Amino acid sequence: MSPDKLIYMANQIATFFASRPRAEAVAGTAAHINDFWEPRMRRQLLALIDEGRAGLHPLVLEAAQEIRRPAEV
């Protein structure tokens, strides 16, 4: 999947949770990504975060700590 599409999707999730209290929003963003994104999507997203890719919603960046990191292939 293209990096721009992953960023768009992650930001949509964060925007959905943004109206909730901060801790709940971070946990909800991470939980949604953990529950519904396949491992290669999570791996790609976390690689974008690790490289400091611009354009990610702050909630996505905070949630990264709680997103399960799949094993490298």
Domain ranges of the chain: 3-66
The stretch 3-11 carries a mean pLDDT of: 98
Q: Give tens-digit pLDDT for 31-59.
A: 999 999 999 999 999 999 999 999 999 99
Please tell me the distance from the alpha carbon of residue 7 to that of residue 63, in angstroms, as a whole number: 13
pTM above 0.85, yes or no: yes
